Amino acid sequence: MFPNASRFRDPKLTEKITRHIKRLAPSYTIKICHVCGTHEWTITHFGLRSLLPQNVDVIAGPGCPVCVIPAAEIDAAVKLALEGVTITCFGDVLRVPGSELSLMDAKARGGDVRVVYGVGNAVRMAKQETNREFVFFAIGFETTAPSTAVEILKKPPSNLSFLITHRLIPPAMELLLGIGDLQIDGFIAPGHVSTIIGTEPYRIFPEAYGMPTVIAGFEPLDVLFAVSMILQQLKEGKPKLENEYKRAVTAEGNVKAQKLMQQAFKTVAAEWRGLGRLPDSGLALREEYEKYDAKKRYDIRTEKARDLLPGCQCHLIMIGKIKPDQCSLFMKECAPESPKGPCMVSVEGTCRIWAKHSGRG
Amino acid sequence: MCLAVPAKIVEISGDLAKVDFGSGVLREVNIMLLEEAKKGDYVLVHAGYAIQLLNEEEAEETLRLWKEFLEKVEIVGVDEEEEHEN
Ligand code: SF4
């Protein structure tokens, strides 16, 4: 297999890099922010926080694509499902609460909601069942958007349209830096988003914000090295952009994927659940492909929606302001079997990851 | 969601490729996002689409640099620790 994942988990190297991190750590508290659910999984699953000095804190930013879908988009999908349109979506989306109902509830009420592995499955289903109308719920960051672009540009079957809720990561990182009382001393940038966009979109973080930024992969050693690189930069007082995940991320990224995305989509201001409207942070279909836009096809107007249930702190979880065990509902009223907020639904949600790991990060 | 899994291309036919995720079980993935891909290449697969080639040489180089770096800082570190003890 590809240079053995186990070599990127080597216990001896882990021990050594952990010792090195301890040596590098300053005496004051450092907060390093990642923006990827898969990074949170690696950190929690391998217990990396417990390997770090107490004053080196790793916090999770808005890196869960399912968590940031506004309730209004879920409401739109629920409405379509109840009106007889077949909704195809990633499994993680099913239980995300809308204002009133989730897609799971819509399914229980007779809606045709089908889980797919990717947009390709939705296209195949639509081709096979020409008597039905299909909508693909297109969520995800830059990692996922290119696959939607591929299918849009290939001219999908006429009975398929798309609910586009793709979001872009760099604007969300920039939002975090604008939150006055949120301490962030360095960014671990998301490796898989970066395979597509390359390294350059992150350059503003060290250059305009003085923020050490390291693009990292998803094995424990990748994350630990990223932490040590950030600490080194802080020590030297020289913030820069570094790429730790060179085996998958190049400076220019996946140029073909970028071109396809640009052909299919334009960048627009977009809502993020609990975070509000961020400029240039979402994708929408270009005019020539608007006929595949489910909102236009079915004349869906985004109505006022309820993003968070009372007591749910997902908006603070998603910016790394608090950790799940600081929410009073965590593992009481809110648990994976009875989620109150999106962060407990998605396998990439911080609350869910902590819950699955005995309530700790 | 942004999870992407390494796999090896075993066979290519048009826009599709059969890939091996390591278990020997083959799955079909779409390779239209790649400029070029050939049999034997390692790719990262996300939601049924290969999103990028994986560079084996870079992987080896990363591991080599890490080892070298850690050996170096260990020596410096030991010196520092000894100083503390004295
Ligand atoms: S534990 Fe539940 S209620 Fe609390 S923030 Fe997380 S998802 Fe929301």
Task: Tell me: pLDDT of B80 over 70.
Answer: no
At residue A107, the pLDDT reads 98
Residue ranges of alpha helices (H) inside chain B are 56-85
**CB of A351 sitting under 6 A from ligand 1:** yes
Instruction: Output the CA A345–ligand 1 centroid distance in Å.
Output: 9
Fold agreement (A26-65+183-242, A71-169+253-297): yes
Pairwise CA distance, residues A173 & A204, whole Å: 11
Ligand 1 pocket check for A229: Cβ under 6 Å: no
Distance CA B29, CA B16 (A): 6
Sign for the pseudo-dihedral over CA of A174, A178, A184, A185? positive
Strand partners, A32: A58, A186
Q: Report which protein residue has its CA nearest ligand 1's atom 7.
A: A341
CB contact under 8 A, B49 and A66: no
Cα–Cα dist A284/B80, whole Å: 56
- pLDDT for residue A278: 93
Interface with chain A: mutation pick from B1, B5, B41, B55, highest number of A CBs within 10 Å: B1
As a three-state string, the secondary structure of A240-269 is: CEEECCCCCCCCCCCHHHHHHHHHHEEEEE
d(CA A300, CA A298): 6
Report the nearest atom of ligand 1 relative to the CA of A345.
7
**Distance between Cα A181 and ligand 1 center (Å):** 21
Distance CA A333, CA A229 (A): 40
**Which regions of chain B carry the CATH code 2.30.30.140?**
1-54
Residue A329, helix vs strand vs coil: coil
For ligand 1, say whether the CB of A315 is within 6 Å of any of its atoms. no
> pLDDT grade, residue B81 (50/70/90)?
very low
Q: Is A327 in the pocket of ligand 1 (CB under 6 A)?
A: yes
According to CATH, the topology of domain A71-169+253-297 is Rossmann fold (3.40.50)
Task: Write down the pLDDT at residue A361.
Answer: 66
Q: Does B1 contact A118 at a Cβ distance shorter than 8 Å?
A: no
Strand partners, A214: A188, A242
Instruction: Find the residue in B nearest to A153 (Cα).
Output: B32
Size of interface A-B (CB pairs under 8 A): 131
- The C-alpha of B4 sits at a distance from chain A's nearest C-alpha, in angstroms, of 7
Residue B78 has pLDDT above 50, yes or no: no
Handedness of CA A145, A146, A148, A152 (dihedral sign): positive
Q: How many CB atoms lie within 10 A of CB A179?
A: 13
CB pair distance less than 8 Å for A346 and B70: no
Closest CA of chain A from B28, distance in Å: 11
Per-10-residue mean pLDDT for chain A, 361 residues long?
Answer: 77 94 95 93 93 95 91 96 97 92 96 96 98 97 97 97 97 91 95 97 97 96 97 96 96 98 98 92 97 96 85 92 94 92 89 84 66
Cβ separation B51–A192 shorter than 8 A: yes
Report CA(B21)–ligand 1 centroid distance (Å).
34
pLDDT band at B77 (very low <50, low <70, confident <90, very high): low
* CA A145 to each of CA A120, A139, A194, A242, A254: distance values in angstroms, whole numbers, following the listed order: 13, 8, 13, 25, 12
Mean pLDDT of chain B: 85
For residue A257, list chain B residues with Cβ-Cβ distance below 8 A. Answer: 33, 51
Q: With CB atoms and an 8 Å threshold, state whether A195 touches B49.
A: no
Answer yes or no: is pLDDT of B83 > 60. Answer: no
Please give the Cα distance from A35 to A18 (Å, whole number). Answer: 22
| Partner B contacted by A137 (CB < 8 A) | no
| CATH code for the structural domain at B1-54 | 2.30.30.140
B85 pLDDT tier (thresholds 50, 70, 90): very low
Report the distance separating Cα A300 and Cα B62, nearest Å: 50
H or E element at residue A24: helix A11-24
Tracing tokens 């004053």 back to the chain, one arrives at A55
Q: What would the CATH number be for the domain defined by A26-65+183-242?
A: 3.40.50.11750
The span from the CA of A100 to the CA of A170, in Å, is 31
Task: For residue A38, give the H/E element and its range.
Answer: helix A37-45
Tell me the helix, strand and coil percentages in chain A, rounded to 5. 40, 20, 40
Instruction: Report the gap between the CA of A342 and the closest CA in chain B (Å).
Output: 14
Sequence ranges of the domains in chain A: 26-65+183-242, 71-169+253-297, 314-356
Q: Two tokens at A203?
A: 């350059």
pLDDT at residue A201 in the model: 97
- Helix (H) or strand (E) run with residue A60 in it: strand A56-60
The DSSP letter of residue A348 is T
Closest partner CB to B56 (pick from A3, A92, A195): A3
What pLDDT, on the 0 to 100 scale, is given for residue A180? 83
pTM for the predicted model, two decimal places? 0.92
pLDDT for the residue numbered A360: 65
CB A61 within 8 A of CB A43: no
First-to-last alpha carbon distance for chain A, in angstroms, is 30
pLDDT confidence bin for B86, thresholds 50/70/90? very low
* Subunit contact B49:A147, Cβ cutoff 8 A: yes
A285-294: long-range contacts at Cβ-Cβ below 8 A with a sequence spacing of 24 or more? A285/A152, A285/A162, A285/A164, A289/A152, A289/A264, A291/A161, A292/A152, A292/A156, A292/A160, A292/A161, A292/A162, A293/A161, A293/A162, A293/A164, A294/A76, A294/A80, A294/A135, A294/A161, A294/A162, A294/A163
In a 13 Å sphere around the CA of A80, the CA atoms on its Cβ side amount to 31
